[in-house]
A and B are shown apart, each in its own frame.
Chain A
Amino acid sequence: MNAARPLPVVAALLLGAAAAAQQRVDADEFQHLEPVLQRAIAAAAPFVVTVETFGGTRRVLGPDVPIDGDGPPRPRPAPKAKPPEPPEQPEQPEPPAPEGEPVPEGDKKDGEPKDGERKPDADKKPKLPLVPEGFQQTRGKTTGVVLTADGWILVSRFALNFDPTTVLITVPGRGTFHAERAGEDTSRGLALVKIAAEGLPVPTFVPPAEVAVGQWAFALGRTFAADEPTVHLGIVSAKKRLYGRALQIDAYTSPANYGGAVVDVHGRVLGIAVPLSPSGRNAGVEWYDSGIGFAVTIADIPDLLARMQQGQVLQRGWLGVHLEPSHLGPGAKIAGAPKDGAAAAAGLRKGDVVVALDGIEVQNGPHLQMLLGARLGGDTVTLTWRDDGQGEPIQKVVTLLDAPWSEQKRDTNADLPASFPLPAPEEGR
């Protein structure tokens, strides 16, 4: 009798397990998600702050919004407050000039403007249309995220598009502070400001490697009400978007939460919502609340923050090569190297084949673009190539330049003060 018992018991257990497995389909999942969401909001609310800007120049966005590497770089002194100990920065003050070669004309160190570089686009146009194309960027409040307890605040570059004369940060429960602008990363749409405060609530940043596609992502903003953040629900749609700069999320992003934290179910920061778009231009109104949003990840690039704390205005890095599309690999074949580019200065010529970047074997042209896509001006890369695709590989350390997008090309006809030497006319690009 006793010996026979185990079988029905096992059978019953199996049946029970099967039934339990079936019940695991939870029809009321949103009811269970609600407290989770509320806790995440409560955890993240303290470090999501309001950004208000005053003054500045109204700008029309639309078809002609600048590419994100754009924006005339301006040197800005670091705020008086002593920045926290930056990680070692050996190469920063003087990017080493490629041996034997003169520093190319286009080399702008740390976003230092060349004379004549700052040319307002509007000056060129003889007449503006009565009704301008595009739309006016709103002057509303935007959102920011506390970065450190001693007052460094990450905001969206969207908030500073006007070049406001005054930026105020309101930390919930702590009051309003005057903010000084520090550095920016135009390629990520991020900016850093400093307020005089201590002991601010600091978020936990999730390293991008720990993020999984499909996990919940809640986009928080603090635009409409001061005492309570707004929340948009979504999931992580894709990782490593925009050359590995950002997560793609399907939570609605718009000026209502640009600069705000995109958090996971524990209220930890996955990224910062920014107005980027796949074209590389700043996202216009057609991207608002579209279900395609971008949250830049910064947890894995501490030196970016250090450089921004020093007041550097960072731009997309530029190697300065045209790639030969018909060359399918291995390696990336150079179809041309503009003479003011970093590649030409390093000695790369048409016909050379880049075989490795930073020790990673380059498979083809798009691979090289991907490896370089998220780099910034001033970054150094170790480039390995073969002259004309043959011979011994040549290896050199190359410092990327700030991207001179065509919109930013020096205007030789611009009215310059007589005391400044006129820049030489440029060929190419």
Chain B
Amino acid sequence: MRTAFALFLLASLLPAQTADFGKAWSFDERKPQTRIEQTIDAVLPSVVKIHGASGLATISAYATGVIVSDRGHILTLDQIMIQKGKTRVVLYDGSVHDALLLPEEPKLGLRLLKIDPAQVHGELRPLWPPAEQDAGFRTGQFVVSIGNAFRLAEFSEKVSATFGVVVGRANTALRYRLADVKYDGDVILTDACNNPGHYGGGLFTLDGRWIGLNLRLLDSKETNTMLSAAIPTRDLLPYLEQHVLGERREQTVVTKVPAWTGVVLFEQAGRQSPPAYVERVIAGSPAAQLGLRPDDLIVRIDDWSIRTCREFRDVLARYAAGQTVKLVWKRGTKIVDGELVLAEEPK
């Protein structure tokens, strides 16, 4: 009954709105003048609203996506709301399309959707393929972030644009609550705000280059702050190439053997994990070959800052036997580093 009523409402609205199809509302009255206005005007048609499954009050049933091919491929963040048969894409002109779900990219937390290009009036304006060298970004670069924050845009209303600056790059040493995001690489930090619904939208430079896909608002354990971030576009390329262009990349399946260093840390039980002081080093182990000694304080593995014994274990779990890491440790007041070849734990 309710559905029928909603359909009736929608149908009654349609004639009134049709006249505005294809126009950017913001610039109805005058042409875009500044670079910011021009960029927004240029990229808005490539950003779409995504409506998905709802049910739980905590799940917002809306998101944003970007068009990545003229054959109807749309890239967004993989979220619970994106469910087979329940995902619809609203284009720039307000037209609604059922979306097919393509295989997700679990490592990046991305999902490609596909709409039927035959159903689209006019042509789709994909953002992709961006040239690899064009996807670069720098700290202090001004950016425009486009997305449907809080589902403020309905139907053919245009999604929101926010303005900000590239705050910086966060490397893998950034620790956020894991439930937030699957992506584990470098992210672009920005102060152009990400809000629910904005996720999956695009981040653009002032000259209209697409540099990132908006992530969920990150909850940084490192600083107790919320961070607006985006996955750099260049990291999306392998996934897009495989599923949009059909270029299958060689997937090398590696069976991971746990890494072993031969270091025994001074670790006590307790709520707070102590700093990673070496208690002893097993003879003949990689750590012994590197010259680690009791009372050394391990402070870094590659770019990972090691502040506690727990972090030492967690970070080491990301590596496999046979890999080489740069280990930094403190002996007395001296900082020493060296290459450690991780080994397999002897039986």
Contacts and interface: CB of A to CB of B under 8 A. Distances in A.
Nearest to B299: A168
Nearest to A29: B34
Contacts of B223: 138, 140, 223, 254-256, 288
A166 interface: yes
B295 to A, nearest CB: 12
Nearest to B225: A254
A196 B333 CA distance: 10
B141 A232 contact: no
A140 B170 CA distance: 13
B297 interface: yes
Interface in B298-341: 299-300, 303, 305, 307, 328, 330, 332-335
A54 B297 contact: yes
Contact of B307 (A54, A224, A231, A285): A54
B335 A177 contact: yes
B274 A55 contact: yes
B51 to A, nearest CB: 31
Interface string A197-237: 00000000000000000000010010111101111110000
Given A54-B275, A54-B299, A225 B171 contact: yes
Interface residues of B, number: 46
Contacts of B33: 27
B139 interface: yes
Interface stretch (B117-125, B148-156, B161-169): B161-169
A385 interface: no
B167 A140 contact: no
A272 interface: no
B275 A288 contact: no
B139 A231 contact: yes
A31 B224 contact: no
Interface in A1-45: 27-28, 30-31, 33-34, 37-38, 40-41
A54 B274 CA distance: 8
Interface string B259-274: 0000000000000101
B330 A166 contact: yes
A225 B175 CA distance: 12
Interface string B179-191: 0000000100101
A37 B275 CA distance: 38
Interface string A155-166: 000000000011
A141 B138 CA distance: 22
A178 interface: yes
Interface size class, chain A: 35 or more
Given A30-B142, A176-B335, A231 B165 contact: yes
A27 B168 contact: no
B171 A224 contact: yes
A178 B191 contact: no
Contacts of A229: 139, 168
B222 interface: yes
B167 A178 contact: no
B297 A34 contact: no
A225 B169 contact: yes
B233 to A, nearest CB: 18
A224 B163 CA distance: 22
Given A138-B222, A168-B335, A176-B328, A34 B206 contact: yes
Contacts of B206: 30-31, 34
Given A34-B141, A138-B221, A224-B222, A230 B335 contact: no
B170 A139 contact: no
A226 B189 contact: no
Contacts of A52: 299, 305, 307
A55 B168 contact: no
Given A28-B34, A31-B35, A232-B191, A178 B335 contact: yes
Interface string B9-34: 00000000000000000000000011
A256 B34 CA distance: 32
Interface in A183-203: 196
B238 interface: no
Contacts of A166: 275, 297, 299, 330
Nearest to A38: B140
B167 A168 contact: no
Contacts of A30: 35-36, 142, 163, 206
B224 A223 contact: no
Contact of B139 (A31, A41, A176): A41
Interface of A: 27-28, 30-31, 33-34, 37-38, 40-41, 52-55, 58, 135, 137-141, 165-166, 168, 175-178, 180, 196, 218, 221, 223-226, 228-233, 252, 254-256, 285, 288-289
Interface of B: 33-36, 138-142, 163, 165-171, 173-175, 186, 189, 191, 206, 220-226, 272, 274-275, 297, 299-300, 303, 305, 307, 328, 330, 332-335
18 contacts: A33-B142, A38-B138, A53-B307, A139-B307, A141-B305, A168-B335, A176-B328, A225-B169, A225-B170, A228-B139, A230-B139, A230-B168, A232-B165, A232-B191, A233-B165, A255-B225, A256-B225, A288-B225
Which 5 A/B pairs are nearest by Cβ-Cβ distance? Answer: A230-B168, A140-B222, A224-B170, A255-B223, A27-B34
Given A30-B35, A55-B275, A176-B328, 8 more contacts: A30-B142, A40-B140, A52-B299, A224-B168, A224-B170, A225-B173, A233-B191, A254-B225
